[in-house]
Structure 1
Amino acid sequence: MSLHSWRRPDAAKSPLEGPVAILGLGDVHRGDDGLGPAVIRQLRARYLFDEDAVRIGDESAPGFDFGTFFAGVRAVILIGAVHDALEGPGTLRWFRRDTFRAPGPRRALERFGDLQDDFLLLGAVPGCLDATTGLTPQVHAAVPLLVQGAIVELERLGVRARQRRGAKGEAGPTQKHI
């Protein structure tokens, strides 16, 4: 799968007013549900962003405040596990506001209210949602692709990401049962 397929050539760039919000969704203590936070860790470890241009958050962080995080943003990128009974674990999925058909992504959108039209949900199909830490190997393998997908979307929105010197692409450990 080409990451360039994540771009929509017909989509006009958003005005450069306000930051782009990138939020990792999921519970790190429920196996593959921790995908969003794993991708956020990699984004922070591998790239530098202008703080006025990008807000990066992890909903599982203590004290996370959705209202403050999304205030004044011009675009939203959500990253997390996306349930799809027809696809196998680790299969990449992405949805824009106008392509939400499945109940799972539609519920995710409703959860965040009436956010910007420039809205993207990136994810992978989970394999295990048990009480474990870490990701299954299939979902773990999707992390670098989702990081790249977020970077491609930021570029489409006119936001530059600078790669950190010596940054590695590891996503962290695979599963441990707790």
Structure 2
Amino acid sequence: MSPPHACPHIAVIGIGNVHRRDDGVGPAVIARLARHIEEGTLSLSVGLHVSDGEPARLIARWEGADLAVVVDAARTSRPAPGRVHRWDTDDLKLPPAAEASSHGLGLGDALRLARALGRLPQHLVVYGVEAADTGFGTGLTTRTAEAVELLADRIVREIHGHRLRTSPVLDGGTAST
């Protein structure tokens, strides 16, 4: 157990391949969150990671985290490029493996494996951004690119909210982040 004054371990993982157009949305959100750190709106203690989605590497990135936030491109049967979906382990409505990720093997498999091994973070949030184009090439399509800034801001708020909920109140004072 962490000392009462310690910050919770928070990991944000952007899954994707920047050479597959909208599949690069996860790394793009991580790049925007890095700017939030430079601007001082996000703590240096938040771990930012880019992943190719391979299950063992994903589990290693979130293992031991109080909060892990994962961002990935998503495929749906009726796509609306740039639309953001949120799943939470508390909801027990995590995406099925074949439908959530734009990768053949990845997030859904990592979630099932981590559950079986008891290696899920204490709290896991998954954001899926609907992709328009995951073909070869660089650069996000317009609607997916527009989602990056809004999603990064949403993740910053989620992290601040998590810290407020989990920070202990010392000596009758108020919790701070």
Superposition deviation, residue 17 in structure 1: 6.3
Tell me which amino acid in the other structure corresponds to 2:86.
W
In 2, Cα distance between the equivalents of 1:67 and 1:100? 16
Native 8 Å contact 1:17 1:74 kept in 2: no
Tell me which amino acid in the other structure corresponds to 2:65.
V
Native 8 Å contact 1:18 1:72 kept in 2: no
1:84 pairs with 2:83: no
Q: Of 93, 100, 121, which aligns to 2:85?
A: 93
RMSD value, Cα:
2.5
Superposition deviation, residue 105 in structure 1: 3.6
| 1:24-173 equivalences in 2 (<5 Å) | 24-47=14-37, 48=40, 49-51=42-44, 53-60=45-52, 65-66=57-58, 68-97=60-89, 98-103=92-97, 104-105=99-100, 108-112=107-111, 113-114=114-115, 115-158=120-163
Native 8 Å contact 1:32 1:129 kept in 2: yes
Native 8 Å contact 1:76 1:120 kept in 2: yes
In 2, Cα distance between the equivalents of 1:156 and 1:125? 25
Q: Deviations over 1:98-149 (max 9, x none)?
A: 1225443496243242312411111310000111101000100101111012
Superposition deviation, residue 71 in structure 1: 3.5
In 2, Cα distance between the equivalents of 1:149 and 1:78? 13
| Structure with a larger share of its residues in helix | 2
29-38 vs 76-85, which deviates more?
76-85
Quickly say closer, same or farther: Cα 1:100–1:69, change in 2 above 3 A.
closer
Superposition deviation, residue 77 in structure 1: 0.2
Native 8 Å contact 1:96 1:120 kept in 2: yes
Tell me which amino acid in the other structure corresponds to 2:29.
V
In 2, Cα distance between the equivalents of 1:133 and 1:148? 23
In 2, Cα distance between the equivalents of 1:23 and 1:100? 16
Superposition deviation, residue 68 in structure 1: 4.6
Superposition deviation, residue 152 in structure 1: 1.7
Superposition deviation, residue 87 in structure 1: 3.0
User: In structure 2, the residue corresponding to 1:110 is in which secondary structure?
Assistant: helix
Unaligned runs of 5+ in 1: 1-15, 160-178
Which stretches of structure 1, 4 residues or longer, exceed 6 Å deviation after superposition? Answer: none
Question: Quick check: which has more Rg, 1 or 2?
Answer: 2
